[in-house]
Structure 1
Amino acid sequence: MPLLTETGVPSAGRVTIVLSGELDQLTADQLRTAVRAALQLEPTVLAVDLALVTFMDSSGLGAIVAAKRWCDNAGCSLSLQALTPAMYRRFQVSGLTDLFGLPEPSA
């Protein structure tokens, strides 16, 4: 299943990218492209909504880490939204929960 990205209209300095589908080696570049385009809008917060992501591999995690680095360099904070417990576990196993300040989701 391909990854679909939808970037919302900036509101109060916040831009949201909603992802749906699989975030993997074949689709990670789509996220990178969406993040670069969203950063052109100069948000103070870039939110990435992961609620509709059905699968994510290490390439997807790598794309999200790259997005964090780009946001940091642009003076923008990256906020990961709507992680499922399984998605949270991927970040936890990878040692990335602290980097993103992710609270453990409710079951």
Structure 2
Amino acid sequence: MAEIPIRARREPDGGTVLAVRGEVDVATAPALREAIVRAVDGRPARVVIDLAAVSFMDSSALGVLISGYKYAQGAGVAMVLASPGPGVYRLLRTSGMVEIFEVVDPPDPSTEIRG
């Protein structure tokens, strides 16, 4: 399993933030899955996946987010996606993930990558 930089921090409101950096793909998605499970197992009020520093995400990352969301739901923990960049947000939107997740701080529509 390839490593991906993920920094976990507890927030004063009782939530946990997972700040993810770099590319989340088939090689690094298992590390994200493990970080989500660890965070949820700590029973925070919510888990925020901070995507501001994610430069690329593939379908395996989407699968991890969905399975993490289901795991969190089962544990009674809310899961939120935060600050996706334009390319990541486009993937989330076209895959229907914005209908499933609460997405906070989405990119300005004028910065969206077209194509």
**Does the alignment reach a TM-score above 0.5?**
yes
Q: Which residue of 1 aligns with 2:4?
A: 3
Aligned length: 107
For the residue of structure 2 that corresponds to 1:42, the secondary structure is coil
Contact 1:17 1:46 in 2 (8 A): yes
TM-score, length basis structure 2: 0.85
**How does 1:18-97 map onto structure 2 within 5 Å?**
18-97=19-98
TM-score, length basis structure 1: 0.90
Root-mean-square deviation (Å): 1.7
Runs of 4 or more consecutive aligned structure 1 residues displaced over 4 Å after TM superposition: none
Q: State, as a whole percentage, how many aligned pairs show the same letter.
A: 30
Contact 2:55 2:88 in 1 (8 A): no
CA distance in 1, matches of 2:76, 2:52: 25
**Runs of 5+ in structure 2 lacking a partner?**
none
CA distance in 2, matches of 1:53, 1:98: 20
For the residue of structure 1 that corresponds to 2:10, the secondary structure is coil
CA distance in 1, matches of 2:55, 2:3: 10
CA distance in 2, matches of 1:102, 1:62: 17
TM superposition shift of 1:11: 2.7
Contact 1:4 1:21 in 2 (8 A): yes
Contact 1:2 1:21 in 2 (8 A): no
